[in-house]
Amino acid sequence: MDIFVVDAFTDQHFKGNSAAIMPVTTFPEASLMQRIAAENNLSETAFILRNSENNYAIRWFSPLTEIDFCGHATLASAFVLYEYYNLKGKITFTTEHVGTLTVEQNHDGNIEMNFPCQAGLEVMPPQALLDGLSIAPIKVLQNRQAYIAVLPNEQAVHDIVCDSELLKQLAPHDIVVTAQSSQYDFVSRYFWPANGGYEDPVTGSIHTALAPYWAQQLDKREVTAYQASQRGGVLHCKMIEDDRIIISGSAVLYLRGKVYL
């Protein structure tokens, strides 16, 4: 099986978020895909299956479980198809849980992904969330993927410490912390102990909730985000409809090889 490892939402090696991309002629059994993802031990392994010209089915696996929606591995998959399978123009990815995703490469090489907005609604925070964060949020929202904890300032996002055992109680939801930024429009960090690990380096999918929130708060249609993990990554977000968003970024190849099973 072919395998590509791509650093997404960055133009530098060892930054952004790594994804393993594995083009297949038929999807293996889910249990085998899960074992492969665990062996790869990256935030995500994406399996892509060609349906027709420029149309692919995509499935995403963390080392622990199959994931409903992953932005950085979608970007990495498109990068592989453009750079190593000579695809041109718009690529359509079909998914089980978030519908059809379309992707295009613009003139400067950045990859633009058309995603559904998944805005959060303000909620009363669960006690496990409050106890699991070292800094109290000023507001908490929730969408289908995660709790969104708005922190008092940008430094709090950098300083916060999370208790993984407490945050696991929020499963199946993850937790993202965010605040307005001086250099970017907003910053965030993403923790997913129940579904993938302690902290995800760059999480494209959660920006379908973060970007609409900050676009409304800042009264802007376009916002730039920085995910302030150890690796870090930049995401460009543009509201195009009330229910659709363009999230774009760059990618760089780290590894190309074969998996033998």
Active-site residue set: 44
The residues pairing with 233 across neighbouring beta strands, listed in sequence order, are 227
Alpha-carbon distance 16 to 8, whole Å?
Answer: 5
Side chain identity, residue 140: V
* Joined tokens for residue 126: 């669960």
Q: Which helix (H) or strand (E) holds 70?
A: none
Residue with tokens 């380096």: 201
Alpha-carbon distance 244 to 169, whole Å?
Answer: 31
Helix (H, G, I), strand (E, B) or coil at 130: helix
Strand ranges (E), 133-250? 139-142, 146-150, 174-180, 186-192, 197-200, 222-227, 233-241, 244-249
Q: What are phi and psi of 170, to 5 degrees?
A: -85, -5
Count Cβ atoms below 10 Å from residue 29 Cβ, excluding itself: 8
Largest Cα–Cα distance of the chain, in whole Å? 52
Pairing mode, strands 2-8 and 186-192:
unpaired
